[in-house]
């Protein structure tokens, strides 16, 4: 029975992994920047039709009708589905004889139609990097709420531990008037309970953390917490009862700053590993090292595309100008990213220009 990869507003890591595992020629990828709307704009629909037409023409030129038909049929169904549904900042359609997927991405892409033995998933990885899944903990001395979020999607975490409320106030001790005010429970003890619940959830669903609360509450929580190692940042304000839309707008700025720090961390790692002779620059060298050594981190200029042929030994990468030739990989960067992830490395997409002296690509390797 052919499988269908479900689609979502933001690709989940499991979806990306499933698509990366497909090895099935023809694997058709159609990527298109779109205008966010409740329904696909007419101009975007026409561009989608044109890209899908390019892919179909190439498949039919290379394969017999019976071999081309399953993927072409799946692609046609996806195009029709995309035309009827909402649009994000981009669409990604994937079709082969055994698999299909439609994803709406929160980032723009370079419009293209790709026919290869594997799907073009680089933009999916980039969307996970640019709009990473994250946990949001909003707290004050009386209550705490935990959200599991990606891009502008902010949903309560699927755990019975949250929302968490501090114990009810206890009557003040001592003799005196009966209407003596009640005494608050110890906020630090409450924060320890919150931290324990956060840790239990994060161990199963690891992600960067954003803290939301006033300065006193967040500072106190950070002092006692053992689960802030991946703290992306803090949003100031007592927002435990705030609407999700208000939270997302404040969180976005924190995540942007976090991602810029990740780029700086990647560049600092490159400098550190260069001194130790553990950096490979440029696509051919990075490709060879990713296969023969232990990848640590791959930094890629987010605008770099590299059509290439792979040598018979699998270790040689030769740039190619005839992109439509069946022997040419439309973008070897996609394959390199998949290889590094498969072998346990992590990916850093960088802003244009910062990797120019590395020809757009730098791979650090472990000892």
Model pLDDT, residue 64: 95
pLDDT of residue 106: 85
Nearest to 198 by CA among 157, 150, 142: 157
User: 5 pLDDT band (50/70/90 cuts)?
Assistant: very low
Average pLDDT over residues 201-217: 91
Mean pLDDT of 67-92: 95
Does the bond joining 138 to the residue before it have cis omega, within 30 degrees of 0? Answer: no
Residue given tokens 């101009």 in the structure block: 43
Higher pLDDT residue, 17 or 227?
Answer: 227
Residue, of 5 and 42, whose pLDDT is higher: 42
Delineate the domains of the chain, giving CATH numbers in brackets: 13-130 (3.30.960), 134-259 (3.30.420.60), 276-365 (3.30.1330.30)
| Residue-level pLDDT at 2 | 41
- 300 versus 1: the higher-pLDDT residue is 300
**Distance (Å, whole) CA 93 – CA 31:** 6
> Residue 170's pLDDT is what?
58
Give me the mean pLDDT over the 264-273 stretch.
Answer: 94
Question: Which 3 state secondary structure label does DSSP give 100?
Answer: strand
Q: What is the mean pLDDT of residues 66-86?
A: 95
| Token pair in block for residue 312 | 């018979």
**Model confidence at 280: pLDDT above 50:** yes
Burial of 69 (0-12, 13-18, 19+ CB in 10 A): middle
Spatial neighbors of 221 by CB under 8 A, at least 6 apart, are 139, 191, 194, 195, 211, 213
Residue 268, Cβ density class (10 Å: 0-12 exposed, 13-18 middle, ≥19 buried): exposed
**What is the rounded CA–CA span in Å between residue 96 and residue 105?**
20
Region class of 107: left (phi > 0), else alpha (psi between -120 and 50), else beta: beta
- Position 14 scores a pLDDT of 78
pLDDT confidence bin for 120, thresholds 50/70/90: very high
Q: What is the DSSP letter of 70?
A: H
Alpha carbon 6 to chain centroid, angstroms: 16
How many Cβ atoms from other residues are within 10 Å of residue 32's Cβ? 25
Query: Where residue 229 falls among pLDDT bands split at 50, 70, 90?
Result: confident
Q: What is the pLDDT of residue 183?
A: 52
Tokens of 324: 């439509």
Tally Cβ neighbours within 10 Å of residue 180. Answer: 12
If you average pLDDT over residues 200-228, what whole number do you get?
A: 93
Supply the pLDDT for residue 47.
97
State whether residue 80 is helix, strand or coil: helix
pLDDT bracket for residue 192 (50, 70, 90):
very high
β-partners of residue 354 are none
Under 8 Å between Cβ of 221 and 191: yes
Query: To 5 degrees, how large is the angle CA 208–CA 220–CA 137?
Result: 35
**Non-local CB neighbours of 135 within 8 Å, separated by 6+ positions:** 146, 147, 148, 149, 157, 198, 201, 202, 205, 207, 208, 209, 210
User: How confident is the model at residue 270, as a pLDDT?
Assistant: 96
With both helix axes pointing from N to C terminus, report the angle between 42-62 and 65-84 in degrees, rounded to the nearest 10.
Answer: 170
pLDDT of residue 133: 80
Answer for the pair 358, 309: CB distance below 8 angstroms, yes or no.
no
Given a cut of 80, is residue 296 above it in pLDDT? yes
d(CA 85, CA 320): 37
C-alpha neighbours within 13 Å on the C-beta side of residue 142: 8
Q: What is the pLDDT of residue 338?
A: 85
Give dist(CA 200, CA 314) in Å, integer. 43
- Check whether 161 has a pLDDT greater than 50: yes
User: What integer best gives the mean pLDDT of the chain?
Assistant: 88
Per-residue pLDDT at 1 exceeds 60: no
- The pairing of strands 134-139 and 100-105 is unpaired
Please give the average per-residue pLDDT across 6-24, as a whole number. Answer: 75
Q: Is the pLDDT of residue 149 over 80?
A: yes
């Amino acid at each position: 029975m052919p499988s269908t990869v479900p689609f979502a507003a933001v690709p989940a890591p499991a979806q990306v992994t499933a698509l990366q595992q497909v090895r099935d020629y023809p694997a058709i990828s159609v990527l298109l920047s779109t205008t966010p709307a409740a329904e696909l704009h007419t101009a975007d629909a026409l561009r989608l039709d044109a890209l899908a037409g390019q892919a179909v023409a190439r498949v039919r030129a290379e394969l017999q009708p019976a071999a081309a038909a399953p993927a072409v049929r799946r692609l046609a169904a996806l195009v029709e589905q995309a035309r009827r549904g909402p649009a994000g900042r981009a669409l990604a359609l994937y079709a082969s004889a055994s698999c299909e997927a439609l994803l709406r991405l929160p980032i723009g892409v370079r419009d293209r139609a790709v026919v290869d033995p594997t799907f073009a998933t680089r933009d999916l990885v980039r969307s996970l990097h640019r709009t990473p899944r994250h946990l949001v903990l909003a707290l004050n001395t009386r209550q705490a709420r935990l959200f599991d979020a990606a891009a502008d999607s902010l949903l309560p975490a699927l755990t019975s531990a949250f929302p968490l409320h501090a114990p009810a106030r206890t009557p003040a001790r001592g003799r005196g008037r009966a209407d003596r005010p009640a005494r608050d429970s110890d906020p630090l003890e409450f924060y320890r309970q919150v931290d324990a619940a956060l840790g239990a959830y994060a161990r199963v669903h690891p992600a960067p953390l954003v803290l939301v609360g006033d300065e006193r509450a967040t500072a106190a929580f950070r002092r006692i917490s053992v689960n802030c190692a991946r703290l992306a940042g803090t949003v100031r304000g007592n927002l435990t009862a705030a609407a999700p839309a208000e939270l997302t707008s404040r969180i976005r700025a924190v995540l942007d700053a976090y991602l810029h720090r990740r780029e700086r961390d990647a560049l600092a790692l490159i400098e550190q590993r260069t001194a130790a002779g553990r950096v490979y620059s440029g696509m051919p060298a990075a490709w060879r090292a990713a296969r023969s050594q232990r990848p640590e981190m791959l930094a890629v200029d987010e605008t770099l595309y590299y059509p290439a042929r792979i040598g018979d030994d699998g270790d040689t990468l030769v740039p190619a100008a005839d992109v439509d030739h069946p022997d040419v990989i439309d973008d070897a960067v996609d394959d390199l990213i998949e290889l590094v992830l498969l072998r346990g490395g992590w990916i850093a997409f960088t802003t244009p220009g910062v990797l120019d002296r590395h020809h757009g690509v730098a791979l650090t390797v472990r000892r």
